[in-house]
Structure 1
Amino acid sequence: MTTITKNKVTDLFLLNKPTNSNFVELRKAGLDYLESNGLPALKEEEYKFTQISKRLEQQITNFKSAQPASLSKVLVQKAIFEGFDGDIIVFNNGEFVPTLSIISQQNYSFSLLSDAKPEILGSIAKVENDPFVALNNLAFNDGVFISVPKGKKVEKPIYLLHFNQANQGQVVNQRVLIDVADSAEVTFLENTISLDEESYFSNTVVEVKVAQNSHAHYYRLQNENRQAIVVNNFVTDIHRDATFTSVATQLQGGMLRNNLTMNLLDSGCEGNMYGLYLLNGKTHVDNHTNVDHTKPHADSNELYKGILADSSRGVFNGKIFVRQDAQKTNAFQQNNNILLSEDAIINTKPQLEIWADDVKCSHGCTTGQLDEEALFYLQARGIGKEQARGLLLYAFAGEVMEHILYQPFQQYCTNLIQDRLGSKF
């Protein structure tokens, strides 16, 4: 088994040298960072509740990149939910599959990342002070680049559909870069499907650049197998008078770590992030969010909710930074949790760092159990205990789901949640 220690680059980093030579500087930056820092040690502050390095040592015995799995049009068709009408970009263990994708390019352009112009490649993240971004920089072979031109509205959603499987290797690296130009609008959906129950390590970096007066929505479903180890780094730059909204629905996985960064770079912009984690078994989900207000008159809204059962564990660490120049900032952050078991654990830490003096900012968290009085009220009106319990839990979760504006995807996620809660109605 490969030992993963700080200050040492091991076979994990060097076992697979990507064949694509277009990202030399990026790979060097990743290698330099990893040679100096390695993966997170057990006592590292940012990962102290989520010991991914230890989990990798325990579960991943083959650090080679997973080879393409066996996919078919039938498998892709099964992954398309009722009511969906849009384009589909299919990935097989992180690699784009053109033969199974449907790409109309109506009001947007699509290419492999290696085919993008040099100025585009120069804009992607080098390290961002996270070892898993560095690891992705070093290990990914190619990614995709999606661009929405100035003034264009992409009428139908773009569905990023990932299929993962440990096949001759257990490591999957994925890279996506999205550029939304001035006064444009687009909606993205993302779903990852595990093809079996074997362990794998998925390491993804998604970057979204939202230009002046544009609007972007990104809705993600995480419902992978119970052995999957997943790290997602998602970085968004939001410019003047633009809006960006992220909604993440997290239902299953072995250990999931989501790093979401929103950089509000100009006045009049707005960033929204909403998340729901509905966990059971031994699923472990860690959401680390960073909202950086750099200019005046910008707004951010953040709401994450969790329902935890059995021996599941949730972690929420949300940071809001308000820089000295960011006067008239409105920034709100809330994390609410319901624990359904004595063995379920939540570690929550909302944070504010404010250097401006004319702002409206708030943050908070709550952790409790299901309201017994409300449960009794519903039962007294002829509703069975299990259905009443499901109704209350879904009412708690629904505040997040209502921010998914594409109704077929909202209904798809809602059905999965209601099935889990036993509240189908």
Structure 2
Amino acid sequence: MNTDARGHYLADFARVAGTLPGRGVPWLDRLRKDALDQFALRGFPTRSDEDWKYTSVAALEKQRFHATTSARTHAGPHPLMTRHALAADVGHVLVFLDGHYAPWLSDLGALPTGARLCSLADALKSAPDLLESYLTNDERQTVFGALSTAFMADGAFLRLQRGIVLEAPVHLLFLSTESAAAHHMRNVIVAEDGAQATVIEHYAGIDGITYFNNVVTSIFADGNAAIAHHKLQQDGSAAYHVGGIHALQQRDSRLESHSISFGAALARNDITIAFHGNGCEATLNGLYLVGGTQHVDHHTCVDHRQPNGTSREHYRGVLEGQSHAVFDGKVIVQPGAQKSNAYQTNHNLLLSCDAEVDTKPELKIYADDVKCNHGATVGQLDEAQLFYLRSRGIDKAVAHGLLVHAFALDVIERIRIASLRTRLQEILLARLPQK
């Protein structure tokens, strides 16, 4: 690792340590110290690390980002929020400005008894012990996750007690407006037995400025709970985004994970699901649309640890220009996880001869009574389909756009939130290649 980079982050931590929420709480102080020590020991990953073989973070490492200590107030609605707000079918909105909760821009809405929704900073200040078991569960923690744990200044905390159903979706909107800023955030979502929630985790920023979003989202689904999680990464074109989504499921729980990546110069998402109970279900859908010199990387891992688990994974990518995408999908079926059923696909559409995809679906099966299969494709637009549309009098550019739209729509239509589905359609149409 670049020792200058290591020294920079260690010095930056010393600068902001006194402002971090929950300081003075023994278990949290130890957690931060252990995480920082882990980062200092391991350093940023290089291409010699198998999980980072196709993704270089050298450009990110050279940057000198500084953690922000507070959100700057803004009179009236923020322009970015106006642009990225969703429609009325979203009932609870938490806005984070430059890595910190902005209550003057948020609207928590009406919450049922037994539901707690607040900023992580507020929870760490008022009831830190409530979070200990969730924040110290770092089984899947990466180096970037360790850095986020050390610096975590804010994020969202959603906890639903037994049987509580949150009818309207929660919109977590993270806006970035400061150049050279690092936002180390942690989101915690907890659904106790039978609870249900739908969450949209949405990132956007001013185009052209360089900033770094480093975020970890931890999801805990107890028995018979159901969580639908949607991540929309729409950062500015010069931004860096490294995220982790780590879910732990108990018996008969259901999880939907939708990961949509449109922005950032470099975006990496590590998504891990662990079945800790019998009869768990998980559906992972993903779409990435990149161009220019953008780089997007999705690493997923579904760990079937108990019997009768079902996982479905559908990822699609559209690439233009000199962009590069990576998909590394792993399904593990542990000994004793009999009757597991897993399906995984990754399809990629290259619109340029200079675009590149590295795709690696993988099955690791240690049980004998299972149904598992996977597949991946990389290709260009079907000339026969283009010819068919052109022969019906459809302009070449329109025909081209229709085929790309249909390819991406397969993932978008799996999303059940109408306003989010409409927004993704709008973004897709605006990004369709013009030829």
- TM-score normalized by structure 2? 0.91
Deviations 1:161-181 (A, max 9, x none): 0111335x4211111101011
Identify the residue that residue 55 of structure 1 maps to in structure 2.
59
Residue-pair matches, total: 417
Once the two structures are TM-superposed, the CA of residue 67 in structure 1 deviates from its matched residue by 5.2
Residue of structure 2 aligned with 1:68, choices 51, 68, 71: 71
Identify the residue that residue 392 of structure 1 maps to in structure 2.
403
Deviations 1:196-245 (A, max 9, x none): 42111110010111111111111121111111011001101111111100
3-state SS in 1 of match to 2:148: helix
Residue of structure 2 aligned with 1:381, choices 371, 387, 392: 392
Question: Does the Cα contact within 8 Å between 1:387 and 1:422 map onto a contact in 2?
Answer: no
3-state SS in 2 of match to 1:267: coil
Distance 1:69 1:192 in 2: 18
The structure richer in helix per residue is 2
Question: Does the Cα contact within 8 Å between 1:148 and 1:181 map onto a contact in 2?
Answer: yes
Identify the residue that residue 11 of structure 1 maps to in structure 2.
8
Which segment drifts farther, 393-402 or 13-22?
A: 13-22
Residue of structure 2 aligned with 1:157, choices 158, 164, 169: 169
Once the two structures are TM-superposed, the CA of residue 412 in structure 1 deviates from its matched residue by 0.9
Residue identity opposite 2:168 in structure 1: K
Distance 1:347 1:70 in 2: 43
Residue identity opposite 1:163 in structure 2: L
Call closer, same or farther: CA 1:336–1:390 in 2, change over 3 Å: same
Q: Report % sequence identity.
A: 32
Deviations 1:32-69 (A, max 9, x none): 212321111342211121111x11234x2343437534
3-state SS in 1 of match to 2:352: coil
Identify the residue that residue 123 of structure 2 maps to in structure 1.
113
- Residue 364 of structure 1 pairs with residue 381 of structure 2: no
Distance 1:69 1:345 in 2: 40
Residue of structure 1 aligned with 2:150, choices 138, 145, 153: 138
3-state SS in 1 of match to 2:238: coil
Residue identity opposite 1:283 in structure 2: Q
Residue identity opposite 1:97 in structure 2: A
Which segment drifts farther, 349-358 or 188-197?
A: 188-197
Identify the residue that residue 277 of structure 1 maps to in structure 2.
288
Once the two structures are TM-superposed, the CA of residue 422 in structure 1 deviates from its matched residue by 5.6
Call closer, same or farther: CA 1:287–1:252 in 2, change over 3 Å: same
Q: Which stretches in structure 2 are left out of the alignment for 5+ residues?
A: none
- Residue 287 of structure 1 pairs with residue 290 of structure 2: no
1:153-192 superposed matches below 5 A: 153-167=165-179, 169-192=180-203
Distance 1:242 1:57 in 2: 39
1:92-131 superposed matches below 5 A: 92-107=97-112, 108-111=115-118, 112-114=122-124, 115-124=126-135, 125-126=137-138, 128-131=140-143
- Residue 268 of structure 1 pairs with residue 265 of structure 2: no
Deviations 1:338-361 (A, max 9, x none): 111111010111111111000000
Q: Which stretches in structure 1 are left out of the alignment for 5+ residues?
A: none
Q: Which runs of 4+ in 1 moved over 6 A?
A: none
Distance 1:83 1:281 in 2: 34
Deviations 1:299-348 (A, max 9, x none): 00111101101011000011111000100000111111011111101011
Identify the residue that residue 339 of structure 2 maps to in structure 1.
328
Once the two structures are TM-superposed, the CA of residue 120 in structure 1 deviates from its matched residue by 2.8
Distance 2:152 2:11 in 1: 12
- TM-score normalized by structure 1? 0.93
Which segment drifts farther, 226-235 or 135-144?
A: 135-144
Distance 1:48 1:353 in 2: 20
Deviations 1:128-149 (A, max 9, x none): 3410010011111243321112
Q: CA RMSD in A?
A: 2.0
3-state SS in 1 of match to 2:387: helix
